[in-house]
Amino acid sequence: MPLLEVTGLRKSYGGHVAVDGVDFHIGEAETYGLLGPNGAGKTTAISMIVGILDRDAGEVVVDGQPLDVTSVKAKALIGYVPQELALYRDLTARENLRFFARLYGLGGGGLKARIEEILGIIGLTDRADEKVEQYSGGMARRLNIGIGLMNRPKLLILDEPTVGVDPQSRNSILESVQRLAGEGMAVLYTTHYMEEAERLCDRVGIIDQGRLRAEGTRRELVGLVGETDRVTMRAEGDLARAVEDLEKLPDVRRAESGDSQIELLVPDARTHLPRILETVAAAGAAVRTVEVREPDLETVFLHLTGKALRD
Amino acid sequence: MKILVIGLLNLRRLFRDRSNIFFVIVVPFLMIFMMGLMFGGGQPHRLGLVGGDGGPLAGRLATALAGREDVEVVPMATEDEVRTAVERGRVQGGVVIPSTYDADQRAGRQVQIRYMIRSNDMRALDVGTWVRSAVPREAALLRAARFGAAEGTTTFDQGLQVAQRAQVPGVEVQVTTAGRSVFPEGFSQFALSAPPLLLLYTFLTSLTAAIGLVETRLTGISARMYATPTTAWSIVAGETMGRLLIALFQGLLIMLGSGLLFQVRWGDPLAAAVLLAVFSMIGAGAAMVMASLFRTPGAAISLAAILGIGLGALGGTMVPLETFSPTMQTVAHFTPHAWGYEAFVTLVRHGGGIADVLPQLGALTAFAAVLLPLGAWLQRRAITR
C-alpha cells in the first residue's frame, strides 16, 4: 500500500485551472519529486495534499487515512515544510519548535528531548536561544525544516525548500533530505531545480500548467521521450573503420568521427559501453578517454512541454 | 489546550518587543496623567490680570481675585497680552481692569471689568465662577462706601474701611443637585481621565495587534499551523484569545496601576471586570475583522490607527462626552466607546453597580455579539482560502 496516494487532484480559481487532475503515489521510504517551473501548480498541489487548501475534486490518502482540510488524524502523519520561512522571527528557535510541537500534540518530558534532538539534526543547538531574526537565511531555512520534523512524520513534504538559499546552505539542506530519506522517511519534494530532483528523488513527476505530464525514475523519463546518451571517445588509429563497425551495432543510433574523436548516440550507454569499446579496439583504434553524457530532466522537460524549466 | 497555547503565545510575543511595552504600558499612564491635568479639577488655575496696579482700588480688586487658593493671578501689561495668553491656553481666563477704575469708582460711575475665556475650555468655567463671585463682593463694599460718602456721614475711604470691617451675616447657600451631578464632590481629576483612556487604549491595542495576525498569515505561519493536526476553529479561537488576553492584560494593568498611582477608584469590581471583559471582546472582534480584510501589515496599521483613534475620539475618550453637543452625543453612541464611557461614569463617579450599567452592558454585548463571530468567520475563511 502506498504511503501517499493522490488521485484526480483538481483546483481552479475562477476560470484558471491551477491543478488539473493530478495523480501520483509515494511508497514507504521513497523520495518523490514534483519538478516544474514557477507557476506550474506545485505549491497549490502541495497545499491540497497537506490539507491547508480546499480542493475542487480528487482524493488524498496518507497511510490509509483520507486527508482533507478538516482531517486531524491524517495531518499528524505529515511533516510540512513550506516554501516561506513560516517562523516567528521574534521568538527563538527553541520557542518556535516548542510552539509547533504543542500543535502536533507533543508534550510532557519527551518534548524537551525531541526539541534537543531536532536542534542537533538541524545544527542549531548552540544558537537555540537566539531570536530567529538574528539568524542567517540558511539557519532560518534549517529551522523551517526542523519544525517539519518535530512530529516524527511518516511523510515529509518540502515545498521548494532551497529557494533563495546560498549554495552552501542549499547543499546542507539537500544532504539533510538525503539523510532523512536514507533513514526510511518518505519524502515529497517540489522544486524547479532539475539538479535537485535528479540528486534526491527516486521518482520524479513532471508538472506543468497544473498537469502531471509524466512520471517515473529518471531513466524511465528519459526513455519515455526517446532521448539517447551521447558517448564521446578520444582515440587514435583507424577511426573511420571503427565508426563503420560501431554503426553496425544494435541500438547505436548514430556514429561519426573527426579530430581524433568518435561520437555516437546510444540509449543506456552504460550497458552498451563494454561492447562499444571492444568494437573500437577490434577496428584497430586505441581509446584514450571516454565521456558519457546522459540526457537530463531538463531535456525531458523541454521535450514534454516545449519550454525550459526556468522559462 | 491548543487554543491556550496559541493565545498565550500572542501575549508572550507582545512583551518580547520593548517598544510594545512602552506603547501598551507606559503611554496609557502618561496619558492618564496628562489628560487628568488637562480636564480634571484640583490643579491651580491661572488668571491673567491687566490693570491690577492702577490704584488702591484696582489693587484691592486684584487682591480679591487672588483670594482663592487654587487661583494664581498673573499680572500682565496689556489687554492684547492677556488675550494672547488666553488664546494659547497659558491662562484659563483674563481680567482687564480699566485704567480709570479708581477714579470712576470714587466718582460713582459705572465701571466695566472685561473677562476673557476660551469657550471650549472647561477649566475656564471654574475660573469664571470665581471671578463672577469675587468682583460683585468687592463691588458691594465699594457701593457701601459710596453710599456713606453720598449721605455725608463719612468719606469714601473711611466708609470703605467700615464696610470692610462690617460683619454682615452671609446668606447660607445649600446646594443640591437635581438629577445626577456630572462631577461629584471629591472627584479626582485622574478618575476623570483613566476610564476613557482605558477604553481608548484597549481598543487601539487590540486593533494594532491585528497587524500580527496579518503578518502571521502573510509569512505562512497560519497555513503551517493549519497543516498540523489543529482545526481551523482552534486556530481562530486561539488567535481570538490572544487578542482578548492582550486587551484584558492592558485593561487590568490600567485599572490596577491607576488605582495605585493616581488613587482612581473603579467602583464595583464585578461590574468593572465584566465591562472590561465585554469591551475587550469587542476589540478582539474588531481586530479579527480588520485582519481578515488586509493582505499586508502596512494597510492594516494605517486603518488600525485611524479607527482606534477616530472611534475613540468620537466616543468621548479624548474629550469628555459631557462636553459634546446633544447631536454629537447621539452620534457617539454608534461607537462602543461611548457606551463604555457611560458605564464607567456610572461605576467610577456615582458608585453604581452591575444593575445600573445593564443598558450599557447590553449595548456593548450586542457589539461583541456581532464583531466576534464575524471576525472569527472571516479569519477562518482567510486561513483556508
Shortest distance, CA A52 to any CA of chain B (angstroms): 6
Query: Which one of B11, B12, B215, B224 would you mutate to disrupt binding with A, by most A Cβ within 10 Å of its Cβ?
Result: B224
Q: Which of A26-40, B142-156, B160-174, B262-276 is least confident?
A: B160-174
- Lowest average pLDDT, out of A1-10, B99-108, B171-180, goes to B171-180
Q: Tell me how many residue pairs between chain A and chain B have CB atoms under 8 A apart.
A: 73
B226 chain-A contacts, CB cut-off 8 A: 51-52, 69
C-beta atoms of A86 and B220 within 8 A: yes
Q: How far apart are CA A304 and CA A212, in angstroms?
A: 11
Q: What average pLDDT does chain B have?
A: 85
- Contact assessment for residue B173 and residue B160, using Cβ atoms and an 8 Å cutoff: no
pLDDT > 90 fraction of chain A, expressed in percent and rounded: 43
Q: Which of A213, A218, A209 is nearest to A32 (CA)?
A: A218
Closest in A72, A83, A90 to B229, CB measured: A72
CB B58 within 8 A of CB B100: no
Could you report the per-residue pLDDT of A119-153, keeping only the tens digit for each?
A: 998 888 999 999 999 998 888 989 999 999 998 89
The stretch B204-213 carries a mean pLDDT of 84
d(CA A247, CA A253): 7
Half-sphere exposure at residue A88, Cβ-oriented, CA atoms within 13 angstroms:
24
CB contact under 8 A, B16 and A90: yes
pLDDT in tens, B63-85: 999 888 788 899 999 999 999 99
Query: In chain B, which residues have their Cβ closer than 8 Å to the Cβ of A86?
Result: 219-221, 223-224
d(Cα A86, Cα B216) in Å, to the nearest integer?
8
Average pLDDT over residues A11-15: 89
Q: How far apart are CA B197 and CA A178, in angstroms?
A: 58
A→B interface, C-beta within 8 Å: 47, 50-54, 69-70, 72-73, 75-76, 78, 80, 82-88, 90-91, 99-100, 102-105, 147, 151
Residue contact A90–B17, C-beta within 8 A: yes
- Interface contact B384-A100, CB threshold 8 A: no
pLDDT at B188: 67
Average pLDDT over residues A262-286: 89
Check: CB of residue B49 under 8 Å from CB of residue B82: yes
Q: What are the chain B neighbours of A103 within 8 Å (beta carbons)? A: 2, 5-6, 225, 228-230
Chain B, 200 to 219: residues with Cβ < 8 Å from chain A are 219
Helix (H, G, I), strand (E, B) or coil at A261: strand
Q: What number is the average pLDDT over the span A86-92?
A: 92
Q: How far is A103 from chain B (nearest CA, A)?
A: 6
Tell me the average pLDDT of chain A.
Answer: 88
Q: Is the pLDDT of residue B40 over 60?
A: no
- Model confidence at B118, pLDDT cuts 50, 70, 90, reads confident
Which residues 6+ apart lie within 8 Å of B224 measured at CB? A80, A82, A86, A100, A147
Evaluate if residue B25 carries a pLDDT over 90. Answer: no
Interface of B with A in 122-161 (CB under 8 A): none
- Give the pLDDT mean for A233-238: 90
Would you place residue A296 in the very low, low, confident or very high pLDDT band (cuts 50, 70, 90)? confident
- Helix ranges (H only) for A9-90 are 42-49
- In the predicted structure, residue B186 carries a pLDDT above the cut 70: no
pLDDT band at A104 (very low <50, low <70, confident <90, very high): very high
Q: What angle do CA B151, B156, B162 make, to 5 degrees?
A: 90
Residue B166's CB is within 10 A of a number of other CB atoms, namely 9
Q: Residue A72 and residue B230: Cβ atoms within 8 Å?
A: yes
- In DSSP notation, A152-195 reads --SEEEEESTTTT--HHHHHHHHHHHHHHHHTT-EEEEEES-HH
Give me the pLDDT at residue B281, please: 92
Report whether A86 contacts A47 (CB < 8 A).
no
Question: Looking at chain A, which residue has its C-alpha nearest residue B238?
Answer: A103
CB-based contact B229 A103, cutoff 8 Å: yes
The arrangement of strands across the sheet holding B93-96 comes to: B71-76, B45-50, B93-96, B114-116
Instruction: Mutate one of A73, A102, A132, A150 to test the B interface: name it (highest B CB count within 10 A).
Output: A102
C-alpha cell at A75: 495531518
CB contact under 8 A, A82 and B224: yes
Q: Which of residues 217-246 of B touch A (CB under 8 A)?
A: 219-221, 223-232
Terminal-residue alpha carbon distance, chain A: 37
Cβ of B224 and A86 within 8 Å? yes
Query: What pLDDT is attached to residue A60?
Result: 93
pLDDT for B36 equals: 64
Nearest CA in chain A to B223: A52
User: Which stretch of B117-126, B177-186, B189-198 has the lowest confidence by average pLDDT?
Assistant: B177-186
ipTM: 0.81
By Cβ distance, the residue of B225, B227, B229 closest to A105 is B229
pTM over 0.80: no
Write down the pLDDT at residue B187: 63
Closest A-chain CA to B385: A53
Identify the H or E element spanning A19. Answer: strand A16-26
Nearest to B239 by CA among B273, B266, B214, B276: B214
Q: Is B384's CB within 8 Å of A51's CB?
A: no
